[in-house]
Amino acid sequence: MIETLGKYSKTVKAGFVFIWPIFQRIRKVSLALQPLEISKYRIITKDNAEITTSLTLNYLVTDSYKYFYNNTDSVESMVQLIRGHLRDIIGRMELNEALGSTSQINAQLSDAIGDLTDIYGIRVVRVNVDELLPSPEIQKAMDKQLTADREKTAAIAKAEGEARNIELTTKAKNDALVATAKANAEAVKTQADADAYRIDKLQASLSKAGDGYFRNQSLDSFNHLADGQNNLVVVDKDDMTDLGKIPAAKKVWDQADSSNDE
Query: At 201, is the pLDDT very low, low, confident or very high (cuts 50, 70, 90)?
Result: confident
What does the pLDDT average to over 202-228? Answer: 61
How high is the pLDDT of residue 227?
Answer: 61
Give the residue from 261, 229, 225, 260 showing the smallest Cα distance to 246.
225
The CA-to-CA distance between both ends of the chain, in Å, stands at: 126
How high is the pLDDT of residue 165?
Answer: 85
% residues pLDDT > 70 (the chain) = 73
More confident residue, 23 or 36: 36
Host H or E run for residue 117: none
Helices (H), 114-261: 136-208, 211-227, 245-261
pTM: 0.51
Tell me if the domain spanning 31-134 has CATH number 3.40.50.1980: no
Task: Please provide the average confidence, as pLDDT, over all residues in the chain.
Answer: 76
Quickly count: other Cβ atoms within 10 Å of residue 122's Cβ. 23
How high is the pLDDT of residue 226?
Answer: 56
Q: Is the pLDDT of residue 57 over 80?
A: yes
User: Per-domain residue ranges for the chain?
Assistant: 1-29, 31-134, 171-261
What does the pLDDT average to over 87-111? Answer: 85
